[in-house]
Structure 1
Amino acid sequence: MTDVKDLFKYPRDVDAYGFDWGQLSVTLGPKVNDAKQFSAAVVTVPPGQGHSRHNHPGSEEIIFILKGEGEQMIEDETGAPHTETVSAGCSVFIPESRFHSTLNTGSEEMQIFVVYSPAGPEELLKEMPDFHLIPAKV
């Protein structure tokens, strides 16, 4: 059973996944605190950066913009890209296996909270060629 203290996590408490476009800190999930149905992370994207078009086979994703502004692309059912401007307070639903990308178009860091259901897509990110681990600051 998980210790109740493990139910509270800040991004600084966990090793971050670093990439050329920013970083992702998995704060909730099977390997962090035994969450069974989902995983969640805080994503930080510097100005002018973004992650390329990708999908999460078998998983849905929720994106919530905490800080900053950018462009969120989601492909429709036919594969045509649809892009919207997003900023703090915007919730975005990515249907299962749908291709999408995010670009920080603002002048400040973009911070995003993401949820994957079921958990798992966060582990596949470790296979990306630009992946590197950033140790926790605790």
Structure 2
Amino acid sequence: MAKELNISRATIYRYYSNVDMLCAEATLSLRVKQQEDFLEDVKDMTLKDSLVYVQKYFNMLAYVHETGFRKYLSVVLDESVKKGSAAPLRGARRPAALDAVMRRHADRIGPENYIWLKQIVTKLSGVEPMIALKPPAE
């Protein structure tokens, strides 16, 4: 992979400590919309509708690709235990998408509400709430 990207293997391993982490991150990056796409999708929506749109998008993405997201979460958690909590390992796709759609409303909602709202929607989106709320198998 490093050869195709025209960078050294050492550079890749500076950001991804092992092949599992690299593969998990790359797989998700290929499936997730970019910030510009979210901006285009919500350009005529209210703040509330924009937030619901982002939440639904990430929930559906997690539902459709549940196995891949569980693998990603497993790899990230395993790696974070090895490294300790010093370095953030997650891709931060949900907060970045929310920043993109919330930015134009920032003055109206204020900095403290902006942070809280972004955190709340992030926590209600994606694979983590799906795992937490899924009933145990019988």
Name the TM-score class by shorter chain: under 0.3
Give TM-score scaled by structure 2 length. Answer: 0.26
Instruction: State the structure with more CA Rg.
Output: 2
**Whose strand proportion is higher, 1 or 2?**
1
**Whose helix proportion is higher, 1 or 2?**
2
